[in-house]
Amino acid sequence: MRWLLGVIAATAAAAILAEDATPESTPESTSESTPDAELENLKKELKEEKIGRAVEEAAAISAIRNASHEAILRHKEEIEVEVSRPRLRHALDEAAREESHNKVLQVELDHSGTSSFVVWLMQCDFQITLAIAAAIIGLLGVLGPGIVAESVQRAMGSTLIGLLLAGSVSFAKARMNGEGSSWVGGNFELMNGRAGFADYAIWVLITGVAFLRPLILDSMMDEADSDDEGDVQRKTPLLASEAGSQRPRAAPTVAPRPMAAPTVAPRPTPAQPQSTWVTRSYEVPRGLLIPWKALKCRMGS
């Protein structure tokens, strides 16, 4: 397209030079050939105008072609960007996953010997939620209602009791195998998830027994003194060891002799709630008769 513009410009320049090179005519000849000269001038002007229009059209066509070519190139670039955008997004996701994996590996390296669950718990995004939940459980164990506080304390205490016993078993197994680990190390192995199946079974079993022990004792007691609201009066002895001072008396077979009225009025004593005990009869072997009588004296008839 550029060479076409050059050819057109060269042709126009040659025409202008040819016009300038024409010899000047004398006045006589000019007067004689005036119509012919005007016609020639008109032809030249028409030709120059045509050449100018051709040059302008060529320039416009070249500009249009350049603009269309630029538009095509821009469209191709947009297509390439649209195609490469998912690849770039995928590459960024891969880089983010690789970075998170490297962080987990670094934490595992810093805490070598720790289970993956503990590492995940340390790296999870909801640390604030865990802290708030732990604080709420702690407050319920101290400031919560009676049954809620007792349940939380019982659960935490039972879990700790099971951990202590299972950690001792794990330590004993390690000592028997000659590994020589410490008792604290045995407990850490339990908490880090690296102990054996038997250790975790003991932990769960002891935790369950410690948690259910008060319920079992309550189910074994037939009756207990309670106030108007239905709560158990803890001042009344409910265990056999606390009720040992109360000796059982046999049922009288003969009506007691009426006692004379005292000469001095006794000092009034406040009424104390009495425990209600249910008597149970069992067949006891002769060899265990004396220990059984002693036990009944302690338990109350």
Rounded Cα gap, residues 231 and 226, in angstroms: 5
Q: How confident is the model at residue 3 (pLDDT cuts 50, 70, 90)?
A: low
Asked whether residue 10 falls in the same domain as residue 99, the answer is: yes
Asked whether residue 61 falls in the same domain as residue 103, the answer is: yes
Domain presence at residue 125 = no
Q: Which residues of 96-130 are buried (b: 16+ CB within 10 A; e: fewer)?
A: eeeeeeeeeeeebeeeeebeeebbeeeeeeeeeee
SS3 226: strand
Asked whether residue 73 falls in the same domain as residue 143, the answer is: no
Q: Tens of pLDDT along 46-81?
A: 888 888 888 888 888 888 888 888 888 888 888 888
Asked whether residue 146 falls in the same domain as residue 215, the answer is: yes
Asked whether residue 148 falls in the same domain as residue 92, the answer is: no
| pTM of the predicted model as reported, rounded to 2 decimal places | 0.37
Q: Tens of pLDDT along 19-29?
A: 554 444 444 44
Domain presence at residue 65 = yes
Best-predicted range by mean pLDDT among 7-11, 274-278, 282-286?
A: 7-11
Asked whether residue 6 falls in the same domain as residue 87, the answer is: yes
Rounded Cα gap, residues 112 and 110, in angstroms: 6
Q: Which of 110, 145, 166 is the last residue of a domain?
A: 110
Domain presence at residue 55 = yes
